[in-house]
Each structure stands twice: as structure tokens, then as C-alpha cells.
Structure 1
Amino acid sequence: MALFVEVVKAKGFRGAADAIGIPNSTLSRRISVLEKAIGLRLLHRTTRKVELTEAGRLYFERCKRIVDEARLAHEQLGEMLAQPSGVLRASLPVDFAVTYLAPLIAEFASLYPGIAFDFDLTPRRVDLVGEPFDVAIRMGESENSQLIARQLALLQPRLYASSGYLERSGEPKEPADLEKHECLSMLKTGLGFWTLHDGKQTVRVSAGGRFTLNNVGLIRRLATLDMGIILTPEEIVADELASGRLRLIMPAWHGVPMPVYAITETRMLPAKTQRFIEFLRERLGR
């Protein structure tokens, strides 16, 4: 259809073929196939020019209208993608969102004023299939293989403690020293061990203590209150490091890298969700 329109506009096969970038013979053959398919001759061909038949004139007007409408729709779609709008519903990890994502969200909101935001920061795992969420940001391995997971970043956990705790209990210098310290552990990894790497070797050390919790915020807070050592990504304790309430210990060692994912129900995403995921991937992946 579009090829036929180009031939008519160029008033010949050669000009249309040059404009489209295909051989003249190929274009002529495709128009012949079109005429056979609809059972009507659309063009009078001579050695010097091409003219529309009566059927060709009617067909051209219809094709031109369809092509123009398609071009307009494409332009409108481009505008929608450039300035997406609507309400973005997202589930975010509480502490990571408050500590690290907040300024990124503010930056994203300033870039796309047409988007409104509805964020869920409860600890629960929202149901992306049964609930009207566009995306969920998750830390750690994806648990549902039926959903679409796009990795945004890999965060590297390190060891942190308060100066008060270190003054009272001493500062560990190597992994084996952690067995003598209070280690604040997450419940889901609370098997009593931490896996640490220094680039050359991997060790599994006892990380016991009086507290085993399922809330990152409380673990972080207890660490600032001189209650023990934590193993967490720097992004989670950025404020505490900046204020001096926590400091890095055993800098040569780090935990198993923690992935951050954008989880969606489908790969077919509206522009607002696409832009949000692309923005976070760019910023978090730096």
C-alpha cells in the first residue's frame, strides 16, 4: 500500500524506487503482485510515464488517507513516549527508598511533570498480577519466575559499626574476629553465618548475636545505638555514614553482591513505567 502511494506521488517507478531505496524492478514487481491480489489494474504503464486508472485513483485516495492517519498516529505516539503521563503505581523497599531512592524519584518527577505517583512502601510483597501495580523494585533474588525481572544494579554489602560499639568491644581486623562480636542479622539470612570476600578468598564466618530481625531500618538503628556490626550495602546507610554515626570496618572485605530488580507482570509496559525503569537503571548502574 505504501509503495503504491510512493509510485503515484513520484509519477513513476524510477523516482519512487530511488526515494525508497529499492531496485526499480523490485518495486514494479511488487505493484504487479498488488494488482493481482486485488484483481484490478491500478496503473497504466508506458515507457515515459505512469498514470492512474479509475480504480487506481480510488485506491490511491483510500491508501493515502490510511498512510496519513498512520503517520499522524506514529507522531502522536512519539509525543506520548517523549512526555509520558498518568499515575505510576510502584512498590518500593522501605529503607532503600527513603535513604537512597528519594532524591532519584524527585529528579525523575521533575523530568516528567505529567506523571503522578502512588507508592507503596509497606514490607509486604505486593501481588503484581492481582493488584494494579505497574512495577515493584526489589532487593535480592527474584522469587517469582513467572514475572519479568530487569536488573537495575548490583549493590555490594560491607561491614559497618558505630564508634561507640568499637570503643567498647574493639575493632575486628579479619573475618574470624567477627565470631567474638555482636552481629546484627536479617531473619531471612539468619542462619548465623555471613559469607565474605576480599577478592582473593571467600570465607564463611559465624555472625551470631542477640538480635535477629526482619527489618533493615531497625537493624540500622540498633547499629547506630552501639548494639553491634551490620553487613549491608552502603546505599542503605548513606545518611549514617555522612553523619558519622556509622563507619566502615574491615574495608578489604565485602558480602555477596545484592541485585536490585524492577519486577513487572509483562514486557509490554506503558511509557511512564518504561521511563521510570530506564531512569533507575541509568542512575543505579553508575
Structure 2
Amino acid sequence: MDSIFGYIDDAYLFCKVVEHGSVLKTANLLGVPQSTVSRRISSLEERLGLRLLEKKGRELTATEVGRLVFEQLSSGIEQVEIGLANITEQMEQVAGTVRLSVPHSFYHSFVAPVVESYLKRYPNVHIDLGLNHDQIKPQTNRELLITFDISDMEDLIARPLFTARHGFFASSEYLATRPKITDISQLPQLDWLAIDNNQTLAIYRNERLEESIHVKPRLVVNDIQALLDAVERGLGVASLPLRHVQTNSNLIHLLPEHYRSDRQAFLVYKDRKYQPKAVKSLIDAILSSANKMDAAVNPTSKKRSTNES
């Protein structure tokens, strides 16, 4: 059986010429050269061994057999057009389900306000939000990931969100039971609280690595607000994002000239060209929120480089 490859375009152009009664009008409407339309229809006539069009006055009309061919083909071509239009409409609608994977520690501090505002604005979108520390690489164009680690994601698009800078904090209640902290060497002896099980902290000063210390957290909790609450209740010392404690007068910033190595957060997704509108609008909302957050921390900053999370 002969393949229909090569017939589809010719058949489409033939049907359009019959509908519009003119090769010139069809060419103008489709944005193709008139010579191309004529050549493709001639090619179709040669393949079928049939004369499909004839001139009647100024109009180009289907021959008797051409009318039969048009009746056979036009409904199928119309269905293809409807199907493609439906796909385009679905892609352009802000609707459907989007999967967003986020570290648990990001939820209250960054993600929750964005997601809640987005859902109110777009009532036809459903968000499947996963809060965890596992790297769930986007597999489809409806999946997004916020992460600090993009080491194995060279095949994906990674958009910078913000740079997180951490300082060391404790409550006055906790520090009242300890000698005054004046040097890095005293930090390992403190009761540490942490958001993960990382036990090595690289400590910087003036953008240079000064020392790496080893700590053993007494409490590990993967929620930044829960960690902040534990520090406020005097359970120990923690490395906390500066933005979270800027307005909290109950916490004391230890060795404020020192800080942990900055961490760059990224928004990761699979594709840019074929994104559904719901995904694109959520990406825009997340990036916009990150920009506003940085502007609030450092109004003079024109780009996200060393702003605090």
C-alpha cells in the first residue's frame, strides 16, 4: 500500500482552493507563494491521475471528480484543524495540573504565599505540591522543582531564584548559660539545631573561607519555621537565613562578621518551548516573588547575587 506521506499538504491545499475558489486567495491566506500552491495541486493531480480543478469564468472550481475528492477529504482535514485548535487552546488556557516539588524548609518562607495567591488568581489550575528534600527531577513539561542542587540536571532549564546567606543565632536565654562567644573555635561546643544532617559547616568572612567546623546537631527538623521556634525557645544555636531573623529582636547574631557559604536556589523545569500556560504563569509568579523578596532585603540591588533568602 502506498504511503500517504507527501499527500497531506497537497490535499490540504486542494481543499482550501476549492473553499476559496482561488489559488491566489488561498496563497495569501496561508502565507505561501502562489506558485507553491499551484505546484502542489498539480503534484496531487499527477499522483491520483485525475484532473481536480478547472476554470469557470474567473473562479477556479472543482471538476466533477474533484468534487468527489473534496467531499472525501474535507471532513478529515476539518477534524485535524479542530484537533490542532483544541490542543492550542488547551495549551493557552491557564488550566490543568502542575506538579511543584519544594524543600520543606521553603514552604512557609517562600512558596506558600506564591501558591496561595496563584490559586486564587487561576481557579482552573490544580497544584500538586510535594514538600520534601528529595531531588525529584522534572520528567514532563508540567513539573517544576525548586532546589539548591542542580549537579545532575544539565539537560534541564535552571533559573536562579535567590542566594541564601546564613548567620549563627541563639536566644539570650540560651546564651545566658554559656561563656561569651567571641571566636569560631567556641562554636562546636554549643548545642546545635539544624535543618538537615549536614555536620560540616564552612564558615566565611569577607567572602573568604576562614574555617570549617564539625558539629553534631541535637535536633534536626526540616522546617525553617520550626527550627526558628526551637532557637527562640532556648534549645540551642542554629544556622538561619538572615532574612528570617532580621526583625526578630529575641535572637542574638553570633559573630556577625562570619557566615556560612552562600547557597544559590534554582527553579528547574524540563522545557521552555512547549510549556502549558498554567506552568508558564506559575514560573512567572515564582520568579516575580523572588525578585520582590530580594528587593525588600536589598533595595539597591539590581540583580540576585548575594541577597539573603
Does 2:289 correspond to 1:280?
A: no
Answer whether contact 2:167 2:258 (CA < 8 A) is retained: no
Does 2:24 correspond to 1:31?
A: no
Once residues 57 and 233 of structure 1 are traced to their aligned partners in structure 2, the CA distance between those partners, rounded to angstroms, is 75
Answer whether contact 2:104 2:133 (CA < 8 A) is retained: yes
> Residues 223-262 of structure 1, C-alpha deviation per residue, up to 9 Å, x if partnerless?
334533515363xx2xx43444447774796733322344
Change (3 A) 1:213 1:225: same
Change (3 A) 1:80 1:13: closer
What amino acid maps onto 1:141 in structure 2? D
Answer whether contact 2:102 2:129 (CA < 8 A) is retained: yes
Does 2:15 correspond to 1:9?
A: no
> Could you say which residue in structure 2 is the equivalent of 1:259?
265
Change (3 A) 1:122 1:259: closer
Once residues 180 and 228 of structure 2 are traced to their aligned partners in structure 1, the CA distance between those partners, rounded to angstroms, is 19
> Could you say which residue in structure 2 is the equivalent of 1:194?
202
Change (3 A) 1:136 1:30: closer
Once residues 270 and 142 of structure 1 are traced to their aligned partners in structure 2, the CA distance between those partners, rounded to angstroms, is 23
What amino acid maps onto 1:24 in structure 2? Q
> Could you say which residue in structure 2 is the equivalent of 1:73?
83
Does 2:121 correspond to 1:111?
A: yes
Answer whether contact 1:196 1:203 (CA < 8 A) is retained: yes
Q: Which moved more, 1:41-50 or 1:17-26?
A: 41-50
What amino acid maps onto 2:266 in structure 1? V
Query: Following superposition of structure 1 onto structure 2, how do residues 141-220 of structure 1 map, counting pairs within 5 Å?
Result: 141-142=149-150, 145=153, 148=156, 150-151=158-159, 153-162=161-170, 164=172, 177-181=183-187, 182=190, 187=196, 189-191=198-200, 193-194=201-202, 196=204, 198=206, 201-209=207-215, 211=217, 214-217=220-223, 219-220=227-228
Answer whether contact 1:196 1:253 (CA < 8 A) is retained: yes
Change (3 A) 1:21 1:264: closer
* Residues paired across the two proteins, number: 271
Residue 43 (structure 1) shift: 1.2
Change (3 A) 1:180 1:268: same
Unaligned runs of 5+ in 1: none
> Could you say which residue in structure 1 is the equivalent of 2:231?
223
What TM-score does the superposition give when structure 2 sets the normalisation length?
Answer: 0.66
Equivalent residue of 2:204, what SS? Answer: strand
CA RMSD across the alignment: 4.2
Answer whether contact 2:27 2:33 (CA < 8 A) is retained: yes
> Could you say which residue in structure 1 is the equivalent of 2:296?
none
What amino acid maps onto 1:60 in structure 2? F
Change (3 A) 1:260 1:225: farther
Answer whether contact 1:158 1:233 (CA < 8 A) is retained: yes
Residue 162 (structure 1) shift: 4.7
Once residues 150 and 92 of structure 1 are traced to their aligned partners in structure 2, the CA distance between those partners, rounded to angstroms, is 14
Once residues 39 and 23 of structure 1 are traced to their aligned partners in structure 2, the CA distance between those partners, rounded to angstroms, is 24
Answer whether contact 2:156 2:269 (CA < 8 A) is retained: yes
Residue 109 (structure 1) shift: 0.8
Answer whether contact 1:92 1:138 (CA < 8 A) is retained: yes
Equivalent residue of 2:246, what SS? Answer: helix
